[in-house]
Structure 1
Amino acid sequence: MVRAGPKLMKTTGAGPSRPIPWDPSFEDQKHYPHFDAPLRLSEIKKIVNDPKRVASNAFFPLIQYEKKWQPFRKPRGEPSETGEPKRPSKKSRLIRYAARRDAYIFARYRRILSPLYELELEKRDIADVPIAYRKIQGPTGRGKCNIEFARDVFDTIKRLGDCYVITLDISKFFESLDHERIRKLWENLLEVRSLPADHKAVYKALTDYRWVDRTEAYRRLGYFGEKLTEKGEKIEGYLTPFAMMPKQLCSPAEFRDKIAGNGRQPSIINSNPHQYGIPQGTPISDLIANLYMVDFDQHIRNLATKSGGRAYRYSDDILLIVKACSDQAALNIEEDVRSTIAQFGSEIKIKEEKSSVHHFFPDGENQAFRRVTGKGANGLEYLGFRFDGKHVFIRDSTLSNLKRKMTFAGRIRANRHKRRYSNRTSEELIESFNFDQFFQSFMRVEDFDTASSVRQWTFWTYARRAVEAFGPRGKPIDRQLKFLKPDGRRQIEGELRS
């Protein structure tokens, strides 16, 4: 078993060498509304490269909102009272984002820690285990994306022939990270006995984070509230269009009075009450989450290598490919991973409904599979794709998300088109609607693949690259997408006719 305590390079007590100053570019600037004023590039550079200013920085609370959506896929199970399949329950995700000045500081300290983390991975010979949130070059020199990562896994399964694939998913990963462990790992990475004042300020802002609900903040500041519809009905909504929201939401005095509770109203600022958990949305959070798992990554690498296989971790998704001799041997390895992860914090838990063990074995020129336990009756699901030993498909939930986004975007675009050309008939509206442009632009790849090298792709570019990358195995992807555009067109035409 791996020891859960941090065991990085030996602490010397000497301070870290002075990092190279960061010279931010226009692409690094943030333009979303928040509590602080926008900063010029020269101001950003002075602040983030000055440890004293970072140490004394008063970090604003994060702004939080809940993103909700309705999955489109039909779940298996009991039908509804009408006999139709029950709709899956709505899903949600909390989005938190830092004030601009704070985000620049987080980004700067990510740049300081990232090379040290990469060096530690090289020393341990585990650079191929954590694959999320890092710039990993492919054969062409371009950064790898989920397509290449999934192909690596499927190719390894093919190469090993007879093997078991174990997948596990950590529940609420970022929200479960132990603060004391983070601090010790951070200190060891810098080779210091205690964090320097500037690093400590960043650490405290990340672990003792504060946040405000976006709607409540906008309500306090007069941007959200009761208004009348065109029919004279009272509803709640934005009093200032979101696109016209000022970049600085309020003055420091207004922040103190209306947000922090120094005035007549109570504070609406919430604080993290636990000794665990970091917000997922800051520029440094992903690096800290990867650093947190460095000992675990070492363990699963050793475990998989001992069994003649490979180990991968994509954020909270764990995957091991092993040459086990039986189902029980594979289940024993899975149990080893479960018991080990439990040592990395009292709140670290495995999400049972997302775990699986599959057995792949030769079947003529291809492979076949059988599910030993857990999810994946139709094959191994990984990074948006599904593999059955012979073919690669886009995962059902990925298609569900695509349909949801297409429906939402199509409704907005159709209604905007109707308002702009209100004097046209339904058929004229349909004739003048640019369907090709809509399908090319409505969904950016960054929604489901964080690799910077693919963020300007559309889903269609991504799907085409996937078919190319997987070769003959990826041909079913074309069939999966065959009716997507016709369905989207019918939905938009319906909106234009309504």
Structure 2
Amino acid sequence: MSLQEWKVRNKFGRNYAHFDSRVSLDRVWKYISNPRTVARHGFYPFIHYTLSFHKYNKAIGEKKDKKREICYSAHLDRYMYQYYAFKLNQYYNRRVNIDGLDDVAIAYRDNLHKNNIHFAKRAIDFIKANPECHVIIGDFTGFFDNLDHDYLKDTICNLLNVDRLPDDYYAVYKNITRYSCWNLEDLLQFNGLPNNPRGVQAFKQLDRAISPSDFRIHKKKLVKPHKETFGIPQGSAISAVLSNIYMLELDRKINQHVAERQGLYMRYSDDFIVIFPGSNLDEFKTDFSFITSVIKSIPRLELEPDKTQFFKYTHGVLSNCNEEILPNVQKGKNMLNYLGFSFDGKKVRLRDKTISKYYYRLYRKLKTIVKRKGVTKHGKRISCANVYEKYSIKGANESDRGNFISYVQRAEKVFAGEDAIGNIRRRHMRQIRKRLNQIEK
């Protein structure tokens, strides 16, 4: 992506309230592109809230509560993070091209022009192309929350080919590692708004989260600094590229080993897949031992035991072999899940979790309409246009933005011939009509 393309893509600001007012890129470009002003810039605290959601575990038939800590930056700060993310990504893209890692680190890249569908297909096609192979699916524990600050700084210096960070880069690095937060709940209370979706929506419409004078008065009491020597806020404009830079040495070492075995290694953020051709189990154990030694060499990087899975593929038959590699790990299902797709050795389909998430959101929306008998509290008929636009084939074909069914259609096109992927597209309208028909009963 060229600088001009980046500027066009990020021309307009975001519509949310923060400690500064909304700005456009044109207004701040001279400021964020001047290294001297960046080096002296005072960053605002992030606004923080905890996103809670339920994950349904089909195996045990229970809902599991999951929480994600969300931090979002002030408007000027966000543009600064975005611009330095762009600059670092340019350095990163050149480095991975030189190191032969262009097809390894596949998340958050602006020059690959592909998405998770293409990457999942590449992995599954590679498995199918080998009569026999072993596969590792892995995940890292608390990935963004555990990035070591000193190691991160060293990797950025290495990427920039400098002994110490330039003042502007150091200012950005310092403020993404020694960041501070102001809880959204406190800001809602300060503005006399309820801590619920309506209150949050009303808060977003404010010009500022709090006046400059009130910010100065209350910041000492309500701003919470991040005091650990590890962890960066997940979701900031620069966090993604920093995580890729952090993993450069790991990617290089693992890929070199895998390439020597004529295998395939891909990493999408904290999810990775490694495929080794051949049926020799002892050799596969040695391969995994090497991978774990590389992971242990990177500060604060740990495999998530519950999400690490091992498979053996033999002439169209996929079998889980967890217990053969790690004695204390339970044997899992004979189903490989990667980047939203499932593969059983023969067929590819959308992952159950992906489909469940779609239906959960759809049914929640429909439940509200049915509960009100299709009528608002003011006696007006509730339009279903929004439901069809967001969740149906009608929205997929008519909306510029597309929806989940658009995604299914793209997956069907990439995975040509895998009919199971299209099941949800063929069935979803029936489910929508079935529930809306309850209004008439």
Pairwise CA distance, 1:484: 3.7
Name the residue aligned to 2:27.
Answer: 43
Which of the residues 392, 402, 411 maps onto 1:440? 392
Map 1:443-458; keep pairs closer than 5 Å: 456-458=401-403
CA pair 438-38 structure 1, distance change in 2 beyond 3 A? closer
| Partner SS state of residue 120, structure 2 | helix
Residue 182 in structure 1 maps to residue 152 in structure 2:
yes
Is 1:76 paired with 2:59?
A: yes
Alignment match of 1:242 (pick from 178, 202, 214): 202
Of residues 246-255 and 174-183 in structure 1, the stretch that sits farther from structure 2 once superposed is 246-255
What SS does the aligned partner of 1:305 have? helix
- After superposition, the Cα gap between the structure-2 partners of 1:467 and 1:39, relative to the gap in structure 1 and judged at 3 Å, is closer
The alpha-carbon deviation at position 421 of structure 1 amounts to: 7.3
Aligned equivalents of 1:99 and 1:165: distance in 2?
43
The question of whether the paired residues in 1 share the 8 Å contact of 2:103 and 2:266 is answered with yes
What residue ranges of structure 1 are gaps of 5+ in the alignment? Answer: 1-18, 78-85, 138-142, 226-235, 262-266, 445-454
**By how many angstroms is 1:242 displaced?**
2.5
Distance 1:158 1:88, change over 3 A: same
Aligned to 1:321: 275
RMSD of Structure 2 on Structure 1 (CA): 3.0
Verify: 1:459 aligned to 2:438, yes or no: no
Code of the residue aligned with 1:49 in structure 2: it is: S
Q: Distance in 2 between matches of 1:392 and 1:102?
A: 43
5 Å matches for 1:326-405?
A: 326-345=280-299, 347-362=300-315, 367-373=316-322, 377-405=333-361
> Is contact 2:132–2:279 with CA below 8 Å preserved after alignment?
no
Distance 1:34 1:342, change over 3 A: same
Q: For 1:217-366, what aligned pairs fall within 5 Å after superposition?
A: 217-224=187-194, 241-242=201-202, 245-258=205-218, 260-261=219-220, 267-345=221-299, 347-362=300-315
Residue identity in the other structure for 1:305? A
SS at match of 2:391: helix
Cα distance in 1 for residues equivalent to 2:172 and 2:303: 29
Larger RCO of the pair (alpha carbons < 8 Å, separation 6+) = 1
Residue 38 of structure 2 is aligned with which of 54, 66, 73? Answer: 54
Q: Paired residue for 1:98?
A: 73
CA contact (8 A) 1:24 1:45 kept: no
| More displaced stretch, 377-386 vs 89-98 | 89-98
Secondary structure of the 1:471 match is: coil
Q: Which residue of 2 aligns with 1:193?
A: 163
How many matched pairs? Answer: 429
In the superposition, the TM-score normalised over structure 2's length comes to: 0.88
TM superposition shift of 1:220: 2.2
More helix by share: 2
Shift of 1:385: 0.3
1:361 positional shift: 1.6
The question of whether the paired residues in 2 share the 8 Å contact of 1:165 and 1:357 is answered with yes
CA separation of 1:376 and 1:132: change in aligned 2, threshold 3 A: farther
Deviations 1:255-283 (A, max 9, x none): 1223x03xxxxx12112121111111111
2:186 aligns with one of 216, 225, 228: 216
TM-superposed deviation, 1:441: 8.7
> C-alpha offsets along residues 121-168 of structure 1, whole Å, 9 cap, x if unaligned?
11111111100000344xxxxx11111111111111111221111111
1:487 alignment partner in structure 2? 431
Deviation at 1:349, TM superposition (A): 1.4
Percent identical: 27
Identify if the C-alpha distance between structure 1 residues 336 and 30 changes in structure 2 by more than 3 Å, giving closer, same or farther: same
**Counterpart of 2:310 in structure 1: which amino acid?**
V
Does the 8 Å contact 2:134/2:279 carry over to 1?
A: no
